């Protein structure tokens, strides 16, 4: 085990020991030896991002190691135990311990955790709001309360970077078109935002939510945007959405054949054009652009 992992586990020991003491005394304790004491390395300043792939295999509680999975199972089937974890999080101020608790709660999920996440996301404390939003990532956009929470925050505006993070959470889900309509409308508005990074993020997400005439129009305009980031996301949106039109094809052909366009734009446009039906003249443009892209990429050397 790496020293950084040992440190993180030891910090969790202090954070969870009180709340889970009774649980440690039960039978879900492994027989693995106690890890060595951690060094005095400084604790991280931000809680660990919730990610099942980085969840620890064990948590150290007292003198025992308890598997993360056994804690997850216990919290999933024991409402009282889950409530003790939620209360512990409310009282915990150690950032590393909060990160571990969030990881465990995210793995548990369920209705109680959803209500808790919604209450955190409504907090005026930035750190609580951030953690609440992290927990909400585990829930589908077909949940009205999740969808409405994100849309309300986007409608209030604010820092473009934070708004971009909210937009990235609007992952498409199967739902009635009436429910999806407010999301499409908000993304369409943000696709015209002055900030190019937010505009780019909105364009890409919008292409995944809708394939109507409005989106085709926004994609066409975004392909011609002055921002390289917006152009790249628009071309990616065309590729991923299945939206096809003559004017999208013409815009992509113009970029692919433009010697003044960046190599990145020309390469992306050439790749996207593979999904379009091309006549003989258009195919000739595409072949020349593809050969140029291959040459710039070093192929055939």
Domain ranges (residues) in the chain: 58-139
- pLDDT-based confidence at residue 2 (cuts at 50, 70, 90): very low
What are the pLDDT digits (tens) for 208-249?
888 778 889 999 999 999 999 999 999 999 988 888 999 999
The three-state secondary structure class of 191 is coil
Asked if residue 16 has pLDDT above 70, the reply is no
222 alpha-carbon distance from chain centroid = 23
Task: Please tell me what DSSP assigns to residue 194.
Answer: S
Q: In this predicted structure, what is the pLDDT of residue 9?
A: 40
Give the other-Cβ count within 10 Å of 196's Cβ: 17
- pLDDT-based confidence at residue 298 (cuts at 50, 70, 90): low
| Residue pointed to by tokens 């291959």 | 294
What are the pLDDT digits (tens) for 56-102?
676 555 566 778 888 889 999 999 989 988 988 888 787 877 777 88
Could you tell me which residue, 82 or 22, shows the higher pLDDT?
Answer: 82
Asked if 97 and 15 touch (Cβ cutoff 8 Å), the reply is yes
Calculate ∠ Cα 206-255-207, nearest 5°. Answer: 10
Asked if 89 and 101 touch (Cβ cutoff 8 Å), the reply is yes
| pTM: predicted TM-score of the whole model, two decimal places | 0.71
Pairing of strands 58-61, 64-67: antiparallel
**Angle formed by the axes of helices 144-155 and 110-121, nearest 10°:** 10
Could you tell me which residue, 31 or 222, shows the higher pLDDT?
Answer: 222
Q: In this predicted structure, what is the pLDDT of residue 104?
A: 85
Q: How far apart are CA 221 and CA 114, in angstroms?
A: 38
Asked if residue 263 has pLDDT above 70, the reply is yes
């Amino acid at each position: 085990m790496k020293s950084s992992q040992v440190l993180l586990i030891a910090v969790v020991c202090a954070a969870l020991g009180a709340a889970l003491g009774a649980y440690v005394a039960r039978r879900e304790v492994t027989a693995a030896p106690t890890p060595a004491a951690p060094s005095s390395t400084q604790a991280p300043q931000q809680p660990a991002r919730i990610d099942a792939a980085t969840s620890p295999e064990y948590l150290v509680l007292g003198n025992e190691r308890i598997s993360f999975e056994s804690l997850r199972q216990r919290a999933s089937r024991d409402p009282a135990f889950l409530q003790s974890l939620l209360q512990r999080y409310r009282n915990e101020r150690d950032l590393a311990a909060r990160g571990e608790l969030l990881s465990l709660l995210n793995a548990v999920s369920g209705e109680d955790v959803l209500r808790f996440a919604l209450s955190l996301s409504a907090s005026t404390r930035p750190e609580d709001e951030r953690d609440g939003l992290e927990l909400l990532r585990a829930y589908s956009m077909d949940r009205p309360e999740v969808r409405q929470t994100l849309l309300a925050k986007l409608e209030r505006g604010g820092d473009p970077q934070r708004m971009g993070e909210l937009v990235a959470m609007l992952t498409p889900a199967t739902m009635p078109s009436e429910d999806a309509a407010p999301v499409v409308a908000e993304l369409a508005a943000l696709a015209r935002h002055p900030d190019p990074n937010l505009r780019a993020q909105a364009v890409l997400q919008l292409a995944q939510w809708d394939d109507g005439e409005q989106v085709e129009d926004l994609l066409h305009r975004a392909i011609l945007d002055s921002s390289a980031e917006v152009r790249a996301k628009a071309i990616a949106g065309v590729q991923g959405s299945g939206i096809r039109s003559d004017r999208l094809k013409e815009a992509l052909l113009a970029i692919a054949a433009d010697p003044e366009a960046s190599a990145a734009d020309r390469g992306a446009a050439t790749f996207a054009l593979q999904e379009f039906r091309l006549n003989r003249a258009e195919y000739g443009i595409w072949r020349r652009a593809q050969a140029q892209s291959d040459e710039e990429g070093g192929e055939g050397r």
